[in-house]
Structure 1
Amino acid sequence: MKKFDIRKIRVRKVSVDDLDDRMLLINLYATQALTFIIGLIWVLFQHQNLIQLFTPPRELAFLLWGIGFAGAVIAVDLLISRFVPEEAADDGGVNDRIFRGRPIWHIAVISFVVAVCEELLFRGAVQHAIGPYWTSIVFATIHVRYLRHWIPTGLVFSISYGLGWIYMESGSIWAPIIAHFLIDFIMGLIIRFRRES
């Protein structure tokens, strides 16, 4: 049996263009799984009831919060993309690579997985510990691909703060999950169909 030598491991910086589609998806789902596990452990260490956290309320107001916030974010994003040069909102091509040419059902799956995993961690665990403002700073920092330009960084911070706000106002984690899902899904569809035409 061959002996494993940790000294032979080499770390190098890889751009999104160096990854094939399979490796890009593996990275996406692996990071979301890690996000979910960290969020789950953190929520349990905070002695929160996980079932209660994910139980939707009887009143459907949380749907209105989620759909309304998503609509506002998409409208603002479309306005910004119309008047701001594309290079000022560049994310390094990551979103384009994730959504371009992807079937609609897969865009929906990716959007749902990302929404549930990130909202569990950031709204369910981190915001519970440090509040919406600092959570939004952490959320913007985690989305490192946007940090090259102040416009996308400001947008990510604002969206995160808004997601935290609708979580507090609605009293349900499903409001930010729905909003996050709709934002990612609709923007993914825009990227997919814009690139096809």
Structure 2
Amino acid sequence: MKRPSQSDLIKTMSDKEITLHLMLTQAIILALSGIGSWLLFTSFWEGWRNQFTLSLFEIFVYGIVPGVIVVSIDLILMRFVPEKYYDDGGINVKVFKDRSLRGIIGITLLVAVSEELLFRGVLHAQFGYIIASTLFAVMHIRYLKKFVLLISVLFVSFFIGYMYEITGNLLTTITAHFVIDLLLALYIRYRMRQLL
């Protein structure tokens, strides 16, 4: 018997089930960042405090601007590359197409904070740029058979990792990640409404 594809499984799940799985995944990632920092940091609180700097310049230059650049590149790719090469199996459409603006902001902020705390705050801080960026890309395993998505997530992972290399500031990487996810989620939501 043939194993069902990811997109076939996604079609059988409700929007609420997909969202629940997303929330559980983010809770696990947050827990891993807490456990990892407790095990790996010399001082738990000091380890976190040293990675947060409220610098509006850094947040703008290394967070907002790179986020907008990444989304611009993605939108250009979506215009010229056939949809089958960047289709994620329908997960993002199910999560965002009918969600309120407040819900989209909440989900994309949760994802940006949890993933950046683990991948940049713990893994990058302890094991370096290459390992953290590679693991971030590997976490998006569903993209492995989609060449354009794989290249995109690798680029984003190393690009955001580089912003952390430059600044050492999690507020910049959280901002970049949030801007990317928020703008793409809004694009999905409004594009799907136009198609209806």
Q: What TM-score do the two structures reach when normalised by structure 1?
A: 0.88
Letter in 1 for 2:22: L
Q: Please give the alpha-carbon distance, in whole angstroms, between the structure 2 residues aligned to 1:180 and 1:100.
A: 20
Letter in 1 for 2:143: Y
Partner secondary structure for residue 23 of structure 1: helix
Partner in structure 1 of residue 39 of structure 2: 45
Partner in structure 2 of residue 65 of structure 1: 62
Letter in 1 for 2:31: I
2:188 to 183, 188, 191: 191
Partner in structure 1 of residue 19 of structure 2: 25
User: 1:53, 1:124 within 8 Å by CA — same for their partners in 2?
Assistant: no
Partner in structure 1 of residue 147 of structure 2: 150
Partner secondary structure for residue 128 of structure 2: helix
Displacement of 1:13: 8.4
Question: How many residues matched?
Answer: 186
Partner deviation per Cα, 1:16-75 (whole Å, 9 max, x = no partner): 112112211111111100000001111221225254145333563233210111011011
Q: What TM-score do the two structures reach when normalised by structure 2?
A: 0.88
Partner in structure 2 of residue 117 of structure 1: 114
Q: Please give the alpha-carbon distance, in whole angstroms, between the structure 2 residues aligned to 1:152 and 1:102.
A: 23
1:135 to 128, 132, 136: 132
User: 1:53, 1:173 within 8 Å by CA — same for their partners in 2?
Assistant: no
Letter in 2 for 1:164: G
**Stretches of structure 2 lacking an aligned partner (at least 5 in a row):** none
User: 1:132, 1:165 within 8 Å by CA — same for their partners in 2?
Assistant: yes
1:56 to 53, 75, 78: 53
Name the CA shift for 1:89/1:17 in 2 (closer, same or farther; >3 Å).
same
Shifted more, 137-146 versus 73-82: the winner is 137-146
Letter in 2 for 1:189: L
Largest Rg, 1 or 2: 1
Name the CA shift for 1:53/1:36 in 2 (closer, same or farther; >3 Å).
farther
Q: Please give the alpha-carbon distance, in whole angstroms, between the structure 2 residues aligned to 1:165 and 1:143.
A: 19
Partner in structure 2 of residue 5 of structure 1: none
Question: Percent identity, aligned pairs only?
Answer: 31
Q: Please give the alpha-carbon distance, in whole angstroms, between the structure 2 residues aligned to 1:108 and 1:100.
A: 13
Name the CA shift for 1:96/1:67 in 2 (closer, same or farther; >3 Å).
same
**Stretches of structure 1 lacking an aligned partner (at least 5 in a row):** 1-11
Q: Please give the alpha-carbon distance, in whole angstroms, between the structure 2 residues aligned to 1:59 and 1:108.
A: 20
2:170 to 147, 170, 173: 173
Partner secondary structure for residue 124 of structure 2: helix
In the TM superposition, structure 1's runs of 4+ consecutive aligned residues that sit over 6 Å from their partners are none
Letter in 2 for 1:102: R
Partner in structure 1 of residue 29 of structure 2: 35
